[in-house]
Amino acid sequence: MNAPEQLKYADIAAQPAPGRQQQVVDRLRAVLAPHALLFREEDTRPYECDGLSAFRQLPMVVALPQDESQVRAVLRICHELDVPVVARGAGTGLSGGAMPHASGVVLSLARLNRILSLDPLARLARVQPGVRNLAISEAAAPHGLYYAPDPSSQIACSIGGNVAENSGGVHCLKYGLTVHNVLRVRGITIDGEVVEFGCEALDSPGLDLLAALIGSEGMLAVVTEVTVKLVPKPQLAQVVMASFEDVRKAGDAVAQIIAEGIIPAGLEMMDQKTSRAVEPFVKAGYDLDAQAILLAESDGTPEEVAEEIARIEQVLRGAGATAIKVSASEAERLRFWSGRKNAFPAAGRISPDYYCMDGTIPRKNLGRMLVAIEQMEERYQLRCMNVFHAGDGNLHPLILFDANDPDQWRRAEDFGAEILEKCVEFGGTVTGEHGVGIEKINSMCVQFTPSERETFFALKRAFDPQGLLNPGKAIPTLARCAEYGKMHVHGGKLPFSELPRF
Amino acid sequence: MSAQALDELRDRIRAANAARTPLRIHGGSTKDFYGQSLGGEPLDTRSWSGIVSFEPTELVVTARCGTPLSDLQAALAEQRQMLAFEPPAFGAKATIGGVVAAGLSGPRRVSAGSVRDFVLGASLVDADGELKRFGGQVMKNVAGYDISRLLCGSLGILGLIAEVSLKVLPLPAAERTLALEIGHADALQQLNRWAGQPLPISASAWLDGRLSIRLSGAAAAVDAACSRFEREFSAVLVDQSDAARFWSALREHQLAFFDGEMPLWRLSLPSTAPAFALDGAQLLEWGGALRWLRSQADALEVRRLAGAAGGSATLFRTSDRSEGVFDALSPMVAALHRRIKAQFDPNGIFNPGRMYPEL
């Protein structure tokens, strides 16, 4: 059980030996067209990071297969030559999960971008991994169906990446995450074998390897096909917008909605810093005097929505809302949401850079968390906007900084790490939906004990004994945690430190 | 409940691992009939019992494995909440650990999701007797591989599931059951059509030409759907208490359909798979995605049909397990199972043979 960890490739920045690139390129040439194989710096540069641009690493090679047989061939060669492989979808991930390995191959699935079949009666779509999340819903729309998980990047992000990260979205309290909406995944193991997890029925015999694969950040297998569930589009959606003079009261209001037995389709909160940052930008008519704004959406049949909206309004009034507006039209509903959906770009407008965190906490600790973040703003001398998937406890604090000032970035990173430690302390997790990737790997040392991390490595070994798939991500080694532990003194001491740089 | 009970379980596991003595983990033993074979020295989880935390407004309950399912359900009902996957108990002594290990869900599964969909976290006692926690008590959590969902339905072959955190949901504000007369193939067709429309169907069951439909949700939505089913499909409203008894009897396999010694097959199929012309009686659930079959039909033939339709066939209750209870896994998936088992339980002490003879 306690076999040594596979550490060979854990150092993502380790440069390849001389001649190695040529050797790998020569072999891959036999299976990929010239335009599908990139290895000159000017060609590989666009792949050096994903949506988390603060972490960059040039890959040794980028492979762009166009079908499953090429994916298999690339994996077989990498397996034989002992080359790390980093699978990549649309590159919109926010945790550096697709950041390349210096001596590895980036395996882009972007060209596997076809919807293979869509069955409206069975409510299933079989798609290739490079298909965009929103493209599935667009294809299903003529049948009155859609794919429910809607990460904010859904215009661009791919379903393969959604499977790797177990992506969520603003509607997941009611409609679930990727793991709840995918029935089957076909993938290729590191040794080039085709393997299918799940099927088009609701369950399969044996262990639930599909659940283990979803959210495994490209470390167990490379996804080549996904069968997703499609669900009926609600006939109507309406949103209630409520103002609160106190963030804590807004948090209590959320708990009271749930206590009333209501599961809103979306339940989001933003603080005053956020509403003031987005209002000039979106002109949604937000109450700028409110300390917190709560958005609660109801969807379903017109009868259902009318009943639920009335109940939500009643709860919000009872919980001390200072103002309440209900969207009277689809245009108004979208306008109310526009600020929440544009919080990230708005942060980019008022600050040169921002750093988005992704912890989840039990909702009851929201007030304490926001107070703790306020204190951190003082301590790190950086501002932080707070948007919050209030229904499911997922926080997205946006730390504002200027990347041109290395000290600001260091403070932002430490600020973020401290927020995540607080999330664990409050009974939550360091990542709700963005994944661990490279970004939060140190925070995993705080959330899991060495023996728990060993169980993760045990599962990894069963799939990829050589540790070639996306090495150095998601699960920190003992050595890495020991180093992190030395630098970060827990228990309220200031965690200024020099983290390893990539 | 003192932590001593857990320490004793851990000590037993450590000793069994050292001596390479197989263990048979069990709670109320209500699902002993399910699976390939029972072997090993009994390890009773019921000493480690009790609800650890339940916060209705967080929609999460955490309970120790030996907690009786009925206790847990009573605590939830007091707060007008429920386990939305509607687990079958198959006996008064069922425990929540057994529910998660078996991974079986009831009639509401088709709309709400399966037990695995509601697992938020679990703690595991591994072969070394170490206690490890995975997942947590929050709805969204992608830190590390999803070990807690991997444990769900594992039949205890990876270790002792010591504690679980489950998402709970409010009881529906309104619930009505309707029945209509319809043939087998037409029922399948209609169920799939309805599932593509925004209707509040929370359960369905077809047996002997009669289709029962349960509607759950906001009162206004349930009323509107009721009228539509009455108007368009001549459906008849079923008395509330009769309906409650029916769904409970269906879930617990107490309908006459389940009586007798004839082998009971559980077919898990794409909901649109055609009606099989097999000897014996069939009962459809989950909008056609779950089909119970009482039949003496040749096992190979049943498996071939289910496999060809894209699903699987399980000998759910039978006196003869020699043909294998579960479908054979594909060679790649079987190899992964063996490797995972070897990593988690190298001495093979946890429920050996319960899922497959070689695991």
Rounded to an integer, the average pLDDT of A137-165 is: 96
- Contact call for A211 and B310, based on CB within 8 A: no
Report the distance separating Cα A380 and Cα B239, nearest Å.
64
Q: What is the pLDDT of residue A366?
A: 86
Rounded to an integer, the average pLDDT of B3-10 is: 95
Report the distance separating Cα B200 and Cα B187, nearest Å.
17
Residues 6+ apart with CB under 8 A from B328: B334
Compute the mean pLDDT over every residue in chain A, rounded to the nearest whole number: 92
pLDDT at A7 over 80: no
Q: Which two tokens stand for residue A485?
A: 């532990």
CA angle A35/A40/A46 to nearest 5° reads 80
Higher pLDDT, B106 or A370: B106
Residues 6+ apart with CB under 8 A from B107: B86, B202, B203, B204, B205, B214, B247, B250, B251, B285, B286
User: Of A476-490, B235-249, B267-281, which gets the smallest average pLDDT?
Assistant: A476-490
Higher pLDDT, A248 or A329: A329
Rounded to an integer, the average pLDDT of B157-176 is: 97
Rounded to an integer, the average pLDDT of A55-70 is: 97
Q: How far apart are the first and last CA of chain A?
A: 32
| Structure confidence at residue A103 as a pLDDT band (50, 70, 90) | very high
Residues 58-77 of B with CB under 8 A from A: 58-60
pLDDT at A200 over 80: yes
Question: How many helices (DSSP H) and strands (DSSP E) are in chain A?
Answer: 18, 18
Three-class DSSP category at B350? strand
Q: What is the 3-state secondary structure (H, E, C) of A238-290?
A: EEEEEEECCHHHHHHHHHHHHHCCCCCCEEEEEEHHHHHHHHHHHCCCCCCCC
Compute the mean pLDDT over every residue in chain B, rounded to the nearest whole number: 97
Q: What is the pLDDT of residue B1?
A: 55
User: Is residue A409 a contact partner of residue A382, using CB atoms and an 8 Å limit?
Assistant: no
Percent of chain A with pLDDT over 90: 82
- Contact call for A392 and B140, based on CB within 8 A: yes
Specify the pTM: 0.95
Q: What is the pLDDT of residue A492?
A: 34
Residues 6+ apart with CB under 8 A from B262: B280, B294, B295, B296
- Give CA separation, B233 vs A381, B203, B205, B230, B283, in Å: 66, 17, 16, 6, 20
Q: What is the pLDDT of residue A6?
A: 58
Residues 236-295 of B with CB under 8 A from A: 268-272, 286, 289-290
Report the distance separating Cα A473 and Cα B321, nearest Å.
44
pLDDT at A490 over 60: no
User: Is residue B334 a contact partner of residue B280, using CB atoms and an 8 Å limit?
Assistant: no
Q: What is the 3-state secondary structure (H, E, C) of A103-159?
A: CCEEEECCCCCCEEEEECCCCEEEECCCCEHHHHHHHHHHHCEECCCCCCCCCCCEH
pLDDT at A401 over 80: yes
Per-residue pLDDT of B325-358, as tens digits, reads: 999 999 999 999 999 999 999 999 999 999 999 9
- Contact call for A304 and B342, based on CB within 8 A: no
Q: What is the pLDDT of residue B131?
A: 97
Report the distance separating Cα B235 and Cα B72, nearest Å.
35
Per-residue pLDDT of B283-302, as tens digits, reads: 999 999 999 999 999 999 99
Residues 181-220 of B with CB under 8 A from A: 192-193, 195-200, 217-220
Q: What is the pLDDT of residue A178?
A: 97
- Contact call for B114 and A440, based on CB within 8 A: no
By DSSP bridging, strand B290-294 and strand B60-64 are: unpaired
User: Is residue B51 a contact partner of residue B62, using CB atoms and an 8 Å limit?
Assistant: yes
Percent of chain A with pLDDT over 70: 95
Report the distance separating Cα A465 and Cα A405, nearest Å.
42
Q: What is the pLDDT of residue A499?
A: 31
By DSSP bridging, strand A182-188 and strand A194-198 are: antiparallel
| Structure confidence at residue A487 as a pLDDT band (50, 70, 90) | low
Q: What is the pLDDT of residue A485?
A: 78
A428 touches chain B (CB under 8 A): yes
Per-residue pLDDT of B106-123, as tens digits, reads: 999 999 999 999 999 999
B347 touches chain A (CB under 8 A): no
Report the distance separating Cα A59 and Cα A45, nearest Å.
8
Q: Find chain B residues with C-beta within 8 A of A426's C-beta.
A: none
For the beta carbon of residue A486, count every other beta carbon within 10 angstroms.
Answer: 9
CA nearest to A288, candidates A313, A327, A322: A322
pLDDT at A460 over 70: yes
ipTM of the complex: 0.97
B132 CA to chain A: closest CA distance, Å?
Answer: 6
| Structure confidence at residue A347 as a pLDDT band (50, 70, 90) | confident
Three-class DSSP category at B310? coil
| Structure confidence at residue A493 as a pLDDT band (50, 70, 90) | very low
Exposed/middle/buried for A189, CB within 10 Å: 0-12, 13-18, 19+? buried
Residues 78-97 of B with CB under 8 A from A: 80
For the beta carbon of residue B279, count every other beta carbon within 10 angstroms.
Answer: 11
| Structure confidence at residue A349 as a pLDDT band (50, 70, 90) | confident
B158 CA to chain A: closest CA distance, Å?
Answer: 10
User: Is residue A78 a contact partner of residue A58, using CB atoms and an 8 Å limit?
Assistant: no
Q: What is the pLDDT of residue A8?
A: 82
Rounded to the nearest angstrom, the gap between the alpha carbon of residue A498 and the centroid of all alpha carbons in its chain is 26
Q: What is the pLDDT of residue A173?
A: 87
For B122, the enclosing helix (H) or strand (E) is strand B119-125
Residues 98-137 of B with CB under 8 A from A: 103, 109-110, 113-114, 116-117, 124, 126-128, 130, 132-134, 136-137
Instruction: Find the CB nearest B116 among A211, A300, A392.
Output: A211
User: Of A388-392, B90-94, B124-128, which gets the smallest average pLDDT?
Assistant: A388-392
Q: Find chain A residues with C-beta within 8 A of B271's C-beta.
A: 122
Q: Find chain A residues with C-beta within 8 A of B145's C-beta.
A: 212, 215-216, 220, 456, 459-460, 475
Q: What is the pLDDT of residue A326?
A: 97
Q: What is the pLDDT of residue A498?
A: 34
Higher pLDDT, A169 or B126: B126
Higher pLDDT, A501 or A382: A382
B57 touches chain A (CB under 8 A): yes
User: Is residue B354 a contact partner of residue B35, using CB atoms and an 8 Å limit?
Assistant: yes
CA angle A126/A128/A130 to nearest 5° reads 140
pLDDT at A329 over 60: yes
User: Of A386-395, B27-36, B128-137, B161-170, which gets the smallest average pLDDT?
Assistant: A386-395
- Contact call for A474 and B60, based on CB within 8 A: no
A28 CA to chain B: closest CA distance, Å?
Answer: 25
Among B36, B132, B140, B190, which would you mutate to test the A interface (most chain A Cβ atoms within 10 Å of its Cβ)?
Answer: B140
pLDDT at A495 over 80: no
Q: What is the pLDDT of residue B217?
A: 93
Per-residue pLDDT of A234-268, as tens digits, reads: 999 999 999 999 888 998 899 899 888 899 999 99
